[in-house]
Amino acid sequence: MRVLAAMSGGVDSSVAAALALAQGHEVVGVTLKLWDNPREGGCCSVAEIEDARRVAQQLGIDHWVFGFTDEFEARVVTPYAEAHAAGLTPNPCIECNRHLKFGKLLRRARQLGFDAVATGHHARLVASGDGARIHGIRLLRGADRAKDQSYVLYVLGQEQLGRCLFPVGELTKAEVRAKARALGLRTAEKPDSQDVCFIATTGGRESFLGGRIPLHPGRVVDARGDEVGRVDAVELVTVGQRRGLGVAGGGVRQFALAVDAATSTVTVGPLTGLMTDRVALTGLSWVAAAVTGPVEAQTSAHGTPVPARLEGATVHFDRPQRRVAPGQSVVLYRGDEVLGGGIA
């Protein structure tokens, strides 16, 4: 096959390209330039692109750079800021996968005559069928549970998965680095990247959002509506947050139970106030067919899946769980298999 290997400049994508090449595919490396504002962001730097280019050179494959900055701004960065302005807690990595890495890149690959796109995601793909014919593609957790990235891939459907390769999904992170060392790749010891690639370490989320949306000081109130503290920016508060709420210490620990951006109000209460037995989802997305009934629900990228039941668009937990911050994804599994998910 002709394979376009997405190379971020990190060790996982470097080894993914190497493994695709070792499997006999005709491979070309590509780095996506998604972000070009050095004041605000930390990804897509000259150093990252150079690392990817040098690894491609070591592997003896061509290396291209695709500029997707306009679509990244429109589909990921602007919605991220708008969500915070509305008091939500978005997941930009999922939207990047949905629209850029497995949206625009897959379309570009097809236009250029490539059969598949390979990435460094820690997830596995298994073809299901009767041996004579493939009936579908199952999306499974990566072999390294600590590095599993299947949570951020739940938005992919059969058409997309049928044109994807996840070569490192069967490996642990230690095995990935060992292969990189054995191949002499310059990224072998490179640290993993930060979660939100376009937010710089210096200044962080507050600095980034402050340059894009108004940040409003807010009142912190208890269940009776009495003011018990203040926050510098209500747009930076997440449901479930405990620190930085301006509530005096001593007594029962207080958590953010609700964020009302319209009135610049954060409601706090004890942990018991966060517990719920259900969560309603919007924008349901399925890897294959829609499901109902018993599932396991995972409410964060590295969270522990818990037994639940899906009825319509509502997940009913077998036992009460901490409330999911509005804007975050809930991903549904059965064992290691990703079924789909939606947004709380």
Active site residues: 96, 197
Q: Is 51 helix (H, G, I), strand (E, B) or coil?
A: helix
Give first-to-last CA distance, the chain, whole Å: 39
What are the angstrom distances between the C-alpha of 164 and each of 26, 117, 121, 151, 153? 15, 5, 11, 16, 11
Tell me the residue length of the chain: 344
What 144-147 contacts at long range (C-beta under 8 Å, 24+ apart), as own/partner pairs, is 144/171, 144/172, 144/173, 146/173, 147/122, 147/172, 147/173
| Residue 129 C-alpha from the chain's centroid | 29
Q: Which of 176, 257, 232 is nearest to 12 (CA)?
A: 176
Q: Looking at this protein, which amino acid is placed at residue 300?
A: S
What is the Cα–Cα distance from 86 to 239, expressed in whole angstroms?
13
Q: Following DSSP, what letter does each residue of 168-217 receive, concatenated?
A: GGGS-HHHHHHHHHHHT-TTTTPPPPPSSTTS-TTTHHHHHHHTTS----
Q: Are strands 265-269 and 218-221 parallel, antiparallel or unpaired?
A: parallel
